[in-house]
Structure 1
């Protein structure tokens, strides 16, 4: 099952218990844009309808936890760069935590299900036995 950069950010924001409006209040723009418009724009980012500028990614990282490496790898995969090869690791299908970005309270994989973390299982946020989301870790192919 593929995970996009926007889906990853949405899952990590929701796992932090924040709304789009909450996050929109965490940063300013130049030129100034109203918080409601920033929240609407963030919704478009999460829908992968508009790109995420690096400076805003830094501001989002200050607002809620996510691993910038995971976000970058998802963006590279979305771009479908033919000069890269992929090696995979799992991301929780409910909150999008990973070995690179575990839940703040700590979590591990549900035994026999590398697609669901123990935090989400314990909170009833994901049914065991679903699809495992694989994120590609990219490396340049030697020429």
Structure 2
């Protein structure tokens, strides 16, 4: 074997298709268990063979119809569809990545910043709510207010 054992995947360690794998040592002495293992393996092989569709069999892609989002964003999506097709689907993919970035990072960070700034921060004069009154008599010779 060229590769070390730990580099092989679980699939590589299985016997070849159609081979009759040996019953594990822990099940050899038990008549019922050894037969059940063979029957279960055959049942799973049949099940997996049944999952393979022929080229003319339809593949059903379930998608709920007439959702509120479809009615709201459907016209927008249809308007941008030619541009999306022209860019190889990069337009909608980029929008999804941008939306994820906004929802997971920008909006929570802004919300936390707003909450801390206006509801938690106790530093005096951190937020100026009104300007102090400046009177004409409080000016120096250069014209600066004190």
Q: TM-score if structure 1 supplies the norm length?
A: 0.18
Structure with the larger helix share: 2
* Structure of higher RCO (CA pairs closer than 8 Å, 6+ residues apart): 1
- Structure with max Cα Rg: 2
